[in-house]
Copies of this chain bind each other. A is one copy, B any other.
Amino acid sequence: MINVAVLGYGTIGAGVVQVLQTNADSIEQKAGDKIVVKHILDLRDFPGDPNQDLVVHDYKIIEEDEDVNIVVECMGGVEPAHTFVKTALLQGRSVATSNKELVAKYGAELIGIAKEKKCNFLFEASVGGGIPIIRPLTQCLTADVIEEISGILNGTTNYMLTKMEEEGCDFDEVLKEAQEKGYAELHPEADIEGYDACRKIAILTSLAYGKQLDFEDIHTEGITGISAEDFLYARKMKKCIKLLGKSWTDGRGHLYAMVCPMLIDDHHPLAGVKDVFNAIFVHGNMVDDTMFYGRGAGKLPTASAVAADVVDCVKHMGTHIKMIWEPDKLELSDFGGFERKYFVRMGEEVSLEEIEKAFGPVSVIEVENVKEKAFVTGVMKESGYHKAADKFDNIRSMIRIDE
């Protein structure tokens, strides 16, 4: 029998307990051992909850209970999650977590401790919720050199962009609706400013290259500047607008990463990813294009991934599953150096001659009832785009084009 302690009895923690209890028989068969939730750590009490007797308020009880084999961390945030997880790993206990902040910041350290202590630190749920992506990346695509990861990594913003696209509504309107439906939080900055996606692409990129990519180094833009008009142009260009977390190599030894809204072709596999669904597109030098799709958030999908990590911890009791993520810093190339096309909207008072003098030859895009100058540049460096754009004080929006 394997005893699990769950830290945090919020949405995900309660989901993990529910998954482990609901699917107990099938999980026991796959794990090869019975898995029992012994403690639940939370500051609150849960009178009436079927697991109310398992709730403890002091981590020491879990730390000192020698029968605990596996710790599940669903508290979120860096502290005290980091202290508790580190303590557990140093005791030789395996840990499964859904906590992207913790993994993005301390992934390399915690994997290192798990390796030393012959246990495991698993975090499938920290990126893409229920979507299997961490194992595919670290165990299935190991014969490839990864050349691109592009992910729709945040369900809230994908829901909002889908609504804007399908119903033609504007940002503020759709944010309000998402908040009413519980898809967006009252303080939605982490989602709409791209901070959530930033942590996730940092984790995926660190795993793809085996070194620590600090999320602070990633150029991050959210979707607050996207308007209903942008979708009119997108439609005209047979493209759609997605918030992508993206890292890629250019074949000349450069590695780039960013989070920003991008225009992608209607035929791109990511274009069909609607509503709160997430997907991660990975291109390897041998496997070519792959994509992993599913629910990137939500109680049970996320809990399913955490519980599957618990199963893997049971199957590998006493052995460490090799995962390369060294603490050495992964250096990104200068963000200004990459070349792409840009979609730009500016006031109609500027002439095409002035525009082309600054940006070089452009393709003008027109949509009905919008009076302005809108165009797609040729392929140019990010630094070149900004140099040209700085000459104008009436740029309404710029969206990068992913090709």
Q: In angstroms, how far is the closest chain B Cβ from the Cβ of A208?
A: 10
Alpha-carbon distance A122/B285, docked complex (angstroms): 22
Provide the residues of chain B in CB contact with A295, threshold 8 Å: 287-290
Stretch at the interface among A102-110, A133-141, A152-160, A376-384: A133-141
A331-B260 Cα distance, complex, nearest whole Å: 50
Q: Given B26, B286, B304, B308, which contacts A19 in the complex, CB threshold below 8 Å?
A: B286
Central interface residue in A135, A271, A285, A308, by most chain B CB within 10 Å? A308
From B23, B310, B322, A286 is in contact (CB under 8 Å) with B23
Tell me if A145 is interfacial: C-beta within 8 Å of chain B. yes
**Within the assembled complex, what's the spacing in Å between the Cα atoms of A135 and B284?**
18
Central interface residue in A29, A288, A311, by most chain B CB within 10 Å = A288
A255 to B137, CA, bound (A): 31
A292 and B293 form a contact (CB under 8 A): yes
A30 at the A/B interface (Cβ < 8 Å)? yes
* A145 cross-chain contacts in B, Cβ below 8 A: 23, 26
Q: Which of B19, B274, B315 contacts A143 (CB 8 A)?
A: B19
Closest residue of chain B to A267, judged by CB? B274
Check A303 against B290 for contact (C-beta < 8 Å).
Answer: no
A350 located at the interface, meaning its Cβ lies under 8 Å from any Cβ of chain B in the complex = no
Tell me if A124 counts as interface (CB < 8 A to partner B): yes
- Chain B: which residue is nearest A138 at the CB level? B30
Question: A20 contacts the other chain (Cβ, under 8 Å)?
Answer: yes
Residues of B within 8 A of A291 (CB): 291-294
Question: A271 contacts which chain B residues (CB < 8 A)?
Answer: 272
Q: Is the CB of B269 within 8 A of A305?
A: no
CB contacts (< 8 Å) of A140 on chain B: these are: 124, 132, 135-136, 305, 308
Roughly how many angstroms separate A295 CA and B269 CA in the complex, as a whole number? 12
Residues in B with CB closer than 8 Å to A327 are: none
Which residue in B210, B298, B310, B319 is a CB contact (below 8 Å) of A29? Answer: B210
A31 within 8 A of partner (CB): yes
**Contact (Cβ within 8 A) B141 A322:** no
- 8 A-B contact pairs sorted by A residue (CB < 8 Å): A29-B210, A124-B140, A131-B290, A132-B132, A141-B304, A144-B304, A291-B292, A319-B319
Q: Do B132 and A308 have beta carbons less than 8 Å apart?
A: no
Question: In the complex the two chains form, is A130's CB within 8 Å of B310's CB?
Answer: no
A316 to chain B, nearest CB (A): 9
A169 at the interface (CB under 8 A from B): no
Interface string of A15-42 (1 = CB under 8 A from B): 0000110110011011110000000000
Which B residues lie within 8 Å of A306 (CB)? 143
A27 contact from B26, B31, B124, B142, Cβ within 8 A: B142
Min Cβ gap A357→B in Å is 41
A124 to B144, CA, bound (A): 14
